[in-house]
């Protein structure tokens, strides 16, 4: 049975990428060796890392003022590494709090230095994106989260920022056009739009580094990883390779402009159905609705068992809401085909037909 994978992350990857990943487990680059058992210093893998770094810069259309590298530890490690590398001992970091992940980033920053939360949507359970806040010009950086998976909100217009702008793009990277040059640092755990779990991409403008005066632990120092060419130590070899395969797939098919259009169609189809269908209600503020994670509730929660049966019978997987908020969440990452959205929409229509008044 064909599975429609709406998992919030780790999320769906293109079928051809999965096939290529499987092949590399047996025979990588026709070396008669598995990618899982070759040196990261081998010529063929060095080419992988170089391409994986380069393709990010191509997709973001940035030049050599930026460096790209891959680390382990997920976005959660970046919550600590960002302030560790950018927040001066006497400085202040500014954060916008748009949910659990932003809150975790704030918690780590507070352990490192002065941290100011300049805007928050906690008052309404993070169901919207704060806007119109004043960015302190004397802060070392502003940290934002572009997309909030748990609540289904997404920043549609990034703030004009007079200080270095740092963005956690874990859940919507390469899903839409952004002006990457407006950001000084972008990071993203790979496991939603970019690859499997186990590697995190960091892209940083070099001129913001080396200013804190802090004695740095090597593995937490961005400059160490840049100097090491993203191989200061043995990198997560396979996860980075699968990220590269995913980025190649995106580039080959037309890049961000191509996927943005498809993502628009997918999100429109599902939100239109939620708004039309008498059985459902969306949870995020309409103007801040995420194109990646569509969160909704049943108008009659007592029908949950019935709805669950319908979507499971249709081969739909992974649409339970996050355990903190409940309800439903359909994640429409890049690799999710529009056919899967159509199946979900049809299932919602069948549900209304059967149980609607």
**11 interacts with a copy of itself by CB under 8 A:** yes
Q: Which residues of 194-205 are buried (b: 16+ CB within 10 A; e: fewer)?
A: bbbbbbbbbbbb
Strand ranges inside the chain, DSSP E:
4-5, 66-71, 92-97, 114-120, 141-145, 147-148, 153-154, 165-168, 185-189, 200-205, 280-282, 293-298, 316-317, 328-331
Candidates 189, 193, 198; CA nearest to 336 is 193
Q: Which of residues 82-121 bind a copy of itself (CB under 8 A)?
A: 104, 107-108, 111-112
Q: Which residues of 113-144 are buried (b: 16+ CB within 10 A; e: fewer)?
A: bbbebbbbbeeeebbbbbeeeebeeebbbbbb
For residue 100, give the 3-state DSSP assignment.
Answer: helix
**189 interacts with a copy of itself by CB under 8 A:** yes
For the CB of residue 233, give the shortest distance to a copy of itself in the complex, in Å: 4
Name the residue nearer to a copy of itself (CB basis): 40 or 57: 40
291 flagged as catalytic:
no
Using the rule CB under 8 A, which residue among 136, 229, 255, 318 binds a copy of itself? 318
Query: Which of 19, 123, 140, 168 is labelled catalytic?
Result: 168
The DSSP secondary-structure symbol of 321 reads: P
Name the residue nearer to a copy of itself (CB basis): 205 or 266: 266
**198 interacts with a copy of itself by CB under 8 A:** yes
Using the rule CB under 8 A, which residue among 54, 90, 179, 218 binds a copy of itself? 218
DSSP readout, 23-43? HHHH-STTSSS-GGGS-TTSH
Candidates 344, 74, 27; CA nearest to 194 is 74
**314 interacts with a copy of itself by CB under 8 A:** no
**191 interacts with a copy of itself by CB under 8 A:** yes
101 flagged as catalytic:
yes
For the CB of residue 192, give the shortest distance to a copy of itself in the complex, in Å: 10
Q: At what angle do helices 237-253 and 255-276 cross, to 10 degrees?
A: 90
**217 interacts with a copy of itself by CB under 8 A:** yes
Using the rule CB under 8 A, which residue among 72, 159, 229, 337 binds a copy of itself? 72
Contact by Cβ (8 Å): 331, 318: yes
Give the strand order in the sheet containing 66-71.
Answer: 66-71, 200-205, 185-189, 165-168, 141-145, 92-97, 114-120
Using the rule CB under 8 A, which residue among 265, 317, 342, 349 binds a copy of itself? 317
288 flagged as catalytic:
no
**30 interacts with a copy of itself by CB under 8 A:** no
**79 interacts with a copy of itself by CB under 8 A:** yes
**32 interacts with a copy of itself by CB under 8 A:** yes
**234 interacts with a copy of itself by CB under 8 A:** yes
Contact set with a copy of itself (CB under 8 A): 1-3, 5, 7-13, 18-19, 21-23, 25-26, 31-34, 36-40, 71-77, 79-80, 104, 107-108, 111-112, 189, 191, 195-199, 215-220, 232-239, 242, 317-318, 335
Catalytic residues, which ones? 101, 168, 192
């Amino acid at each position: 049975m064909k599975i429609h994978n709406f998992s919030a992350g780790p999320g769906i990857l293109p079928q051809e990428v999965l096939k290529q990943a499987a092949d590399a487990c047996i025979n990588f680059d026709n070396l008669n060796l598995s990618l899982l058992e070759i040196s990261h210093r081998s010529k063929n893998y060095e080419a992988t890392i170089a391409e994986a770094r380069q393709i990010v810069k191509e997709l973001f259309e940035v030049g050599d003022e930026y460096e790209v590298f891959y680390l382990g530890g997920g976005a959660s490690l970046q919550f600590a590494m960002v302030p560790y590398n950018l927040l001066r001992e006497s400085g202040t970091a500014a954060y916008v709090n748009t949910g659990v992940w932003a809150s975790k980033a704030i918690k780590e920053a507070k352990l490192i230095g002065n941290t100011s939360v300049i805007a928050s949507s906690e008052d309404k359970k993070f169901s919207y994106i704060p806007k119109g806040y004043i960015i302190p010009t004397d802060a070392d950086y502003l940290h934002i989260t572009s997309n909030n998976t748990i609540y289904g909100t997404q920043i549609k217009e990034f703030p004009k920022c007079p200080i270095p702008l740092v963005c956690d793009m874990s859940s919507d990277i390469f899903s839409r056009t952004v002006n990457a040059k407006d950001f000084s640092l972008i990071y993203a755990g790979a496991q939603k739009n970019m690859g499997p779990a186990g590697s995190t991409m960091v892209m940083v403008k070099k001129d913001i580094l080396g200013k804190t005066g802090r004695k740095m632990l090597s593995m937490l120092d961005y400059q160490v990883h840049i100097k090491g060419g993203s191989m200061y130590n043995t990198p997560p070899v396979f996860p980075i390779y699968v990220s590269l395969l995913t980025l190649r797939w995106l580039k080959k098919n037309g890049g961000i402009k191509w996927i943005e259009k498809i993502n628009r169609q997918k999100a429109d189809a599902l939100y239109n159905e939620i708004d039309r269908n008498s059985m459902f209600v969306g949870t995020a503020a309409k103007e801040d609705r995420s194109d990646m994670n569509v969160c909704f509730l049943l108008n009659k929660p007592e029908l949950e068992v019935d709805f669950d049966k319908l979507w499971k019978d249709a081969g739909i997987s992974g649409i339970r809401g996050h355990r903190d908020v409940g309800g439903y969440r359909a994640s429409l990452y890049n690799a999710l085909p529009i056919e899967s959205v159509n199946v979900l929409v049809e299932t919602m229509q069948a549900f209304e037909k059967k149980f609607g008044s």
